[in-house]
Amino acid sequence: MAVVKDDKMFWPSRPSTISERNPLTTPWFKFYEKSPLLDIEIASYGLLHYIETRNIASGLPVLKWLTSKRNANGGFQSTQDTVLALQALSEYGTLFSGDLDLRLDVTTYNFTHTLTVQKTDALVLKSTETVL
């Protein structure tokens, strides 16, 4: 069953609370933090289904959930869930492909930097160094 929270949707691979988990079949380390690895794969397949059936609006909450699970390098937890998720996100993105020209001005107390994102480098990680 899908879980919808904060405009995001995913399908959990197992119960989400400790009281629902079976201690005989669930290793101890999963009691304090559940890995969303399978959830990412399931959500990726769900998003691909919405894309295939042209149900784009229903796919948006799944897209939001998937993007919230990306790590700092743009991937996810494993190679397999990263490949699946990036495939789903890429296919969703092709539905809206057009010109992309963004400018991001980052300003702090003693630092100002401008980052630009264009269609040709949209998937390239952008970073800058600052002195605190």
HEC readout, the chain: CCEEECCEEECCCCCCCHHHCCCCCCCHHHCCCCCCHHHHHHHHHHHHHHHHCCCHHHHHHHHHHHHHCCCCCCCCCCHHHHHHHHHHHHHHHHCCCCCCEEEEEEECCCCEEEEEEEHHHCCCCCCCCCCC
Which of 9-13, 44-48, 89-93, 116-120 has the highest average model confidence (pLDDT)? 44-48
112 and 68 co-located in one domain: no
pLDDT score for 31 = 41
Parent domain of 129 = 99-132
30 and 71 co-located in one domain: yes
pLDDT score for 46 = 96
The domain tally of the chain equals 2
pLDDT score for 110 = 83
pLDDT score for 34 = 47
pLDDT score for 108 = 82
At residue 93 the predicted structure's pLDDT band, cuts being 50, 70 and 90, is confident
72 and 14 co-located in one domain: yes
71 and 129 co-located in one domain: no
